[in-house]
Structures are given as structure tokens and as C-alpha cells.
Amino acid sequence: MRIITANVNGIRSAYKKGFLDYIAQSQADIICVQELKAQEADLSPEMQAPHGMHGVWHCAQKRGYSGVALYSKRQPDAVQIGLGQPEFDSEGRYVRADFGNLSVISLYLPSGTSAEERQAYKYQFLDAFYPILAELIATGRDIVVCGDWNIAHQNIDIKNWKGNQKNSGFLPEERAWIGRVIADLGWVDTWRTLYPDVAGYTWWSNRGQAYAKDVGWRIDYQMTTPALAATAQAAHVYKETKFSDHAPLVIDYDYSV
């Protein structure tokens, strides 16, 4: 089973850059997408169901902002749109699809870079999402939470870690939170487990020559329950085509849906 997660920073823009072709050749069973920046009415038939895949999405109320989607070869047995918390669901940040004992979640965790009030909102989301993660892992289901978590966990996950310790996305409180998700709740950072010493950057600033110089951050994850993590075989960050300021994270699991 191949699962891909990709922040496209505007699905219409990504399609113009070849994202639909990438989906076709990717051999993915499930694709999680974040930052659609589109309303449902803006989604073409190909964006709703690329290459005949089954699609579910959660768009933000605000135009041109946020939004997540999930595409799968197999039709889901059940779907959950949103967290059931209006203050977060208005921004289109969560969609879940179930396939037998497997649950796949496309998540777009808030960024706090634009203003202090957005960082406060991010902390509110973290506080609300932690018990949800606890409840999910307690179900005993095989679960993967794919998406843009907007936090680089460890020094290896960010090129310029010394210079970013006071910046959103690498603040001590954020790093400690994701550390508790792993150490206390038992979620597994699949990339870091497979490749303890490989940076695996998935996001680069558009400023300067960050992408060309590989001055990146690893903020896109596939967080899995332990049993599912144990089936992970290989992973890579796809950089052959640049669809946005993020690159798709691809992980192969010895698992059937």
C-alpha cells in the first residue's frame, strides 16, 4: 500500500504544474492533500476524483484558504468531515476515511507565522487535537495521520535550527507537544523511524535560494499507530517536479486495504 501526503498550496495551481499527471504515475493507493485554497464549486471533476479515484474533501469557509482532501482507489467504508469543533472546522483542516480496520486522515495543522493571534490559534488547536489523538490511538485501529503538521520536531528536521528557535514551527512549546504525541501517546513518526539520520525536508521558503540550497524544514508527516508503522518498508520525498513550496511525502507499507 502506497500513501502520499502533499501540501499543494493551491490545488488549481498544482494541477497546472502537473499534479494530476503525478497522481497517475505515482501508483498511490491513497493520497492526502492539504491547502486546497478552493471552494467545492472550484473543484473540477478531475480535482474531485482524479483518474477515477474516490475523493472526499473539507473546504474552508474563507475563499482561497486552507482546505484538505483525500483520494483513494478503494471507496471508503465511512468518512468523517471535520473534527466537530466549529472554530476549527470553519477552516477545513481534517478529513478521515475508513477502509476496514484502517483509518487515513488528511490534516492541515494551523501555521502561526503570520501573526501572534494565529500562533495563539495554533496552540488552541494543539490543545484540542491532543486528546483526539489519544482517543484515536486507543481505538486499536490501524491509523495514519497524514499532512502538514507545521512543526519541525528535532534539530535534524530543519536546516537552520539554531536561527529558528524563536520562530513559529520550531518553538520549544510546539516541539515539546509533538514530542508528547510520540513519547506519551505512542504515535510513530514513520519517516524518522525508517531513516533516523536522513533529514527528509518537505518544505522550503520561497525566499532567497532556499529550495536550490536545500535549506528546508520537515513539517509534513505520516504519523502512524505502532502496528501500522511496523509494516512501513520504504519512503521518499518526491522532488522531480515542484508543485508547491512543499514536496510530496511517499511511504510504502506492507499492508492491504
Q: Is 245 known as a binding-site position?
A: yes
In the annotation, is 58 catalytic? no
Residues 6+ apart with CB under 8 A from 192: 153, 154, 157, 200
Answer for the pair 29, 250: CB distance below 8 angstroms, yes or no. no
- Give the chain's count of helices (H) and strands (E): 8, 14
Give the active site residue among 148, 157, 220, 252.
148
Residue 51 annotated as catalytic: no
136 — alpha (psi -120 to 50), left (phi > 0) or beta?
Answer: alpha
Say which residues have a Cβ less than 8 Å from residue 91's Cβ, sequence separation at least 6: 60, 61, 62, 65, 66, 110
Long-range contacts of 226-230 (CB under 8 A, 24+ apart): 226/186, 226/188, 227/142, 228/102, 228/142, 228/143, 228/144, 228/188, 228/253, 228/255, 229/188, 229/190, 229/193
List 94, 201, 246, 255, catalytic entry: 246
201 counts as catalytic: no
Catalytic residue among 15, 71, 108, 253: 108
DSSP state of 120: H
51 is in an annotated binding site: no
Q: Is 246 annotated as a binding residue?
A: yes
Measure the CA–CA gap between 131 and 164, rounded to whole angstroms.
28
Distance between CA atoms of 211 and 112, rounded to whole angstroms?
Answer: 21
Distances (CA, A) of 242 to 8, 21, 32: 10, 13, 17
Answer yes or no: is 9 a known binding residue. Answer: no
CB 45: neighbour CB atoms within 10 A?
Answer: 8
- 35 known ligand binder: yes
Detail the residues annotated as belonging to a binding site: 7, 35, 148, 150, 245-246
Catalytic residues: 108, 148, 246
Detail the residues annotated as belonging to a binding site for Mg(2+): 7, 35, 148, 150, 245-246
